[in-house]
Amino acid sequence: MAPVKIENSDEASPSDGPGAKECITTVLKGLESIAPLVRSVEENPEPISTEVQGTIPSWLHGNLLRNGPGKFEFGNTHYNHWFDGMAMLHNFRIENGQVTYHSRFLQSDVYKKNSERDRIMVSEFGTLAMPDPCKNFFQRFLSRFEMIQSTDNASVNFVKYKGDYYVSTETNFMHRVDPESLESLEKVDWSKFIAVNGATAHPHYDPDGTSYNMGNSYGSKGALYNIISVPPEKADTKDTLQGAKVLCSIIPADKSHPSYYHSFAMSENYVVFIEQPIKMDLLKIVTCKLRGKALSDGIYWDPSQETVFHLVDKQTGQVSSVKYHTKALSVFHQINAFEEGGFLMLDMCCSDNGEAINNYLIQNLRKSGDALDEVYNTLCRAFPRRFVLPLNVTSDTPTGQNLNTRPSSQATCVKTSKDKVVCQHEDLHGDDLHEYGGLEFPQINYSRCNTRPYRYFYGCGFRHLVGDSLLKMDLQDKTFKVWYQKGFYPSEPVFVPSPDAVEEDDGVILSVILTPSEDKGTFLLVLDARTYEELGRANVPVNIPYGFHGTFNATA
């Protein structure tokens, strides 16, 4: 790949410790337009055959399920933010070395309302729905004083509770779906079961099937962060989230300005909540309709605040009185977390600036030429980092010295007062990762390695506003393998273990590859996870917008 210039926007301050970096930006010129990847498409509810090149392993049976936006306008109204588009569900059905593809729009209430009126009727994250022109002036005026209703446009991920598949966003609504047909079966409201106003689209799972998640609640005294657990089994066939409970609630540093979070981390015994300086101004959010602003107007980055890690005991719900602090950073996705030798290792994809969430406007993604380069070159890159948190901090623990005794670990953790430990990360990569624009959309061999020590993780390199390479990171020596072809844009890699797996990386990587410069050039890529060499691809004669997350549903 062509060399790139790496710029640090500021010098590292001495207090950040050795090796600390400020916002890392990759300066590139002549980026290819990816506007076709953020265009509306038609659904394909009937299975489409694909042309297979190479070989898809015969043991691979199941559905690669993908979720993301597929429609960005209704009539002459259009969405502003990438997160706003209507959820489109995709199924790549793999069986006996062959692949079929079909897709459906999620039949959410929002989608139905918008379709019926051929205009945007319900506000989304970055788009404020304008008052209904069919109402009279007085009715339109009064409508500005109404609270924005929660969307059920579940466009972020496929998740699993009690053996059923759901599609999820970050509001209180999910939809249970059939993983084969992709048909919408039932709308489910978290708030009917527990006192939360939403939940993330990134739950974690214990080996017994117990699910954990997080969601905020809002009351007269401000916001609370809530840790949620959902039992592994149904009480009856109609069961959805029955038995869900709030394990504990954490009080924000500022109740009227809680942190935004997209996900959380989990080890064998702890849930780890990362309270980051991406903040939500609740007054701005509740008045956004009155002010004629989208909900996203109430979210901002405050680099003057530290990031705080909160540990919660999964069995007792007890929140640790010890708080682990680090400098301001932003995180969307964790890689893994595990306990070893009295420490909790927390691995995450981190950026030193949290303003990116408001930069993913559709108009930015559709830019070209110098304007597109400028958008990319001002964004802070995300890199994989490890924080080492000492678990046995007591009144006898000495202050002012590095408590990290793990051999060959460069991370530091220093007790500074009774219940405060200041942490400095270590990089999980070498400088050569800069050439690939950092890493996001991390994945591991989840069934084998989640909450346990591990060696490999997978992700997308970001030499563009969306992923443009597939990376395999080796923690043993911080090297990586790459799949890259110019003009091809891969989705989040999904690891599927082989049935006779011995090693951690025995299996395949699945990724959907999009080609903005080639009409209907989409294909499903299958890589050998160990060698990272291509085994096969299934060419799908359709155009698909760039999506967010998904999962593999193995079948017999």
Say if residues 265 and 324 touch (Cβ distance below 8 Å): no
CA distance 32 to 470: 18
Say if residues 493 and 482 touch (Cβ distance below 8 Å): no
Tell me if residue 476 falls in helix, strand or coil. coil
Listed in sequence order, the DSSP H helices in 439-520 are 446-449
Mean pLDDT computed over 381-385: 97
CA distance 540 to 98: 12
Say if residues 240 and 176 touch (Cβ distance below 8 Å): yes
Residues recorded for the chain: 556
pLDDT at 17: 39
Would you give the DSSP letter of residue 485? -
Residue 147 confidence class, pLDDT cut points 50, 70, 90: low
Listed in sequence order, the DSSP H helices in 395-508 are 446-449
CA distance 209 to 191: 22
Instruction: Answer whether residue 534 shows pLDDT above 50.
Output: yes
Q: How far is CA 257 from the centre of its chain?
A: 22
DSSP for 45-107 reads -S-EE-EEEE---TT--EEEEEEEEEE-EETTEE--BGGGSEEEEEEEEEETTEEEEEEEE--
Tell me if residue 504 falls in helix, strand or coil. coil
pLDDT at 132: 61
Neighbours of 516 (CB within 10 A): 21
pLDDT at 389: 98
Instruction: Answer whether residue 19 shows pLDDT above 50.
Output: no
Largest CA distance in the chain: 71
Nearest CA among 504, 494, 503, 446 for reference residue 470: 494
Mean pLDDT computed over 380-407: 96
pTM for the structure as a whole:
0.93
What counts of helices (H) and strands (E) characterise the chain? 7, 39
Say if residues 108 and 184 touch (Cβ distance below 8 Å): yes
Instruction: Answer whether residue 225 shows pLDDT above 80.
Output: yes
Question: Across the strands, what pairs with 301?
Answer: 278
DSSP for 255-291 reads TTSPBP-S--EE-SSEEEEEE-SEEE-HHHHHTHHHH
Tokens encoding 273? 């909540």
pLDDT at 6: 37
Residue 298 confidence class, pLDDT cut points 50, 70, 90: very high
CA distance 70 to 465: 18
C-alpha Rg value of the chain to the nearest Å:
23
pLDDT at 10: 37
Instruction: Answer whether residue 5 shows pLDDT above 50.
Output: no
pLDDT at 76: 96
Report CA torsion sign: 296, 298, 299, 301. positive
* Residues contacting residue 42 through CB under 8 Å, at least 6 positions apart: none
Tokens encoding 29? 């010129």
- The tens digit of pLDDT for each residue in 472-493 reads 999 999 999 999 999 999 999 9
Tokens encoding 258? 């809680």
CA distance 63 to 455: 26
Angle of CA points 458, 460, 465, to nearest 5°? 165
Instruction: Answer whether residue 328 shows pLDDT above 90.
Output: yes
Say if residues 86 and 547 touch (Cβ distance below 8 Å): no
Residue 2 confidence class, pLDDT cut points 50, 70, 90: very low
Residue 11 confidence class, pLDDT cut points 50, 70, 90: very low
Residue 356 confidence class, pLDDT cut points 50, 70, 90: confident
Mean pLDDT computed over 232-256: 95
Instruction: Answer whether residue 144 shows pLDDT above 70.
Output: no
- The tens digit of pLDDT for each residue in 60-115 reads 999 999 999 999 999 999 999 999 999 999 999 999 999 999 999 999 999 999 99
Mean pLDDT computed over 139-148: 49
Instruction: Answer whether residue 419 shows pLDDT above 50.
Output: yes
pLDDT at 354: 93
Say if residues 90 and 304 touch (Cβ distance below 8 Å): no
Pairing of strands 270-275, 307-313: antiparallel
pLDDT at 155: 98
Listed in sequence order, the DSSP H helices in 156-224 are none
Residue with tokens 């959907």: 512
CA distance 120 to 471: 38
Phi, psi (5° rounding) for residue 217? -130, 150
Say if residues 12 and 363 touch (Cβ distance below 8 Å): no
